[in-house]
């Protein structure tokens, strides 16, 4: 399997790369900062420097179509503007870059598309939070809406509050609402990897938090 991950240097993306590469899969990580390339190479990934805020669908689609190792089997959108970014970049990264990747996947004939979103996108933003948070929720909602309207084998994954705790392999994975709760980034990566291994799980919006079911069993229950 050959997987391309947008936002390849993000914490979830790095964990996913490590899981897949250890299994012998090919992983290409799209990164904006060339200084991050060595981090991907060290865990078995192949970095490509590409700024998703500057790229166009024709170029990115050509890149996906020309990738080696028998073509690209799936793309994962795990990019985000990150802490400290303003409202404008929430839209250009969290929404527009996902739309761009989906356009490129369609052009290249890559049907499998996993999108990392967020809990709360189908609710009104918390009025106690600032305008940047509202922009983030709006961007994630826009990205989800775009993907749901495409003829792709998509899955939208909405994790709860992300933590750096060790993987617990004990999750609650279900269609909304799953209820709010934390989830280790390592377990999010594990769920993404399991979804990639199970392409028959498709056209689903899923929420994820800590629970009491092993990752393999939680994904198997969706089939």
- Phi-psi region for residue 38, left (φ > 0), alpha (ψ -120 to 50) or beta? alpha
Strand-pairing partners, residue 6, are 30, 77
pLDDT of res. 69: 52
Summarised one tens digit per residue, pLDDT across range 90-136 is 899 999 999 999 999 999 999 999 999 999 888 876 666 778 888 99
Higher-confidence residue: 213 or 127? 213
pLDDT of res. 126: 67
pLDDT of res. 16: 98
pTM of the model: 0.95
Of the chain, the end-to-end C-alpha distance in Å amounts to 20
pLDDT of res. 193: 98
- What residues make up the domain containing 169? 2-220
What is d(CA 180, CA 102) in angstroms, rounded to the nearest whole number?
28
- How far is residue 82 from each of residues 134, 148, 206, measured CA to CA in Å? 14, 24, 22
pLDDT of res. 123: 81
* Cis status, amide bond into 177, omega within 30 of 0: yes
Domain count, the chain: 1
CATH of the domain at 159: 3.40.50.720
pLDDT band at 164 (very low <50, low <70, confident <90, very high): very high
Strands 204-210 and 171-174, how do they pair? antiparallel
- 3-class secondary-structure state, position 53: coil
pLDDT band at 71 (very low <50, low <70, confident <90, very high): confident
Those residues whose C-beta lies under 8 Å from the C-beta of residue 64, and which sit 6 or more positions away, are: 4, 72, 75, 104, 105, 107, 108, 110
Average pLDDT over residues 4-26: 98
- How far is residue 156 from each of residues 23, 24, 52, 201, 218, measured CA to CA in Å? 24, 25, 20, 11, 15
Q: Residues for the chain: how many in total?
A: 223
pLDDT of res. 132: 86
The Cβ of residue 130 has, within 10 Å, a number of other Cβ atoms equal to: 11
Nearest to 11 by CA among 91, 90, 83, 92: 83
Average pLDDT over residues 189-194: 98
């Amino acid at each position: 399997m050959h997987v391309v991950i947008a936002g390849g240097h993000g914490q979830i993306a790095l964990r996913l790369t490590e899981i897949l590469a250890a299994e012998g899969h090919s992983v290409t990580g799209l990164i904006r900062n060339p200084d991050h390339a060595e981090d991907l190479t060290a865990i078995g990934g192949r970095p490509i420097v590409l700024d998703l805020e500057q790229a166009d669908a024709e170029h990115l689609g050509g890149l996906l179509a020309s990738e080696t190792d028998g073509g690209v089997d799936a793309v994962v959108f795990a990019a985000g503007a990150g802490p400290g970014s303003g409202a404008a970049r929430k839209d250009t990264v969290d929404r527009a870059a996902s739309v761009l990747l989906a356009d490129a996947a369609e052009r290249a004939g890559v049907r499998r598309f996993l999108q990392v979103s967020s809990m709360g996108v189908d609710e009104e933003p918390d009025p106690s939070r600032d305008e940047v948070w509202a922009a983030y929720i709006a961007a994630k909602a826009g990205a989800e809406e775009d993907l749901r309207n495409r003829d792709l084998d998509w899955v939208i994954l909405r994790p709860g509050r992300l933590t750096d705790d060790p993987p617990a392999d004990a999750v609650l994975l279900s269609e909304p609402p799953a209820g709010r709760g934390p989830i280790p980034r390592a377990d999010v990566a594990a769920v993404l990897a399991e979804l990639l291994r199970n392409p028959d799980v498709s056209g689903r919006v899923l929420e994820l938090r800590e629970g009491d079911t092993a990752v393999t069993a939680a994904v198997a229950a969706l089939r």
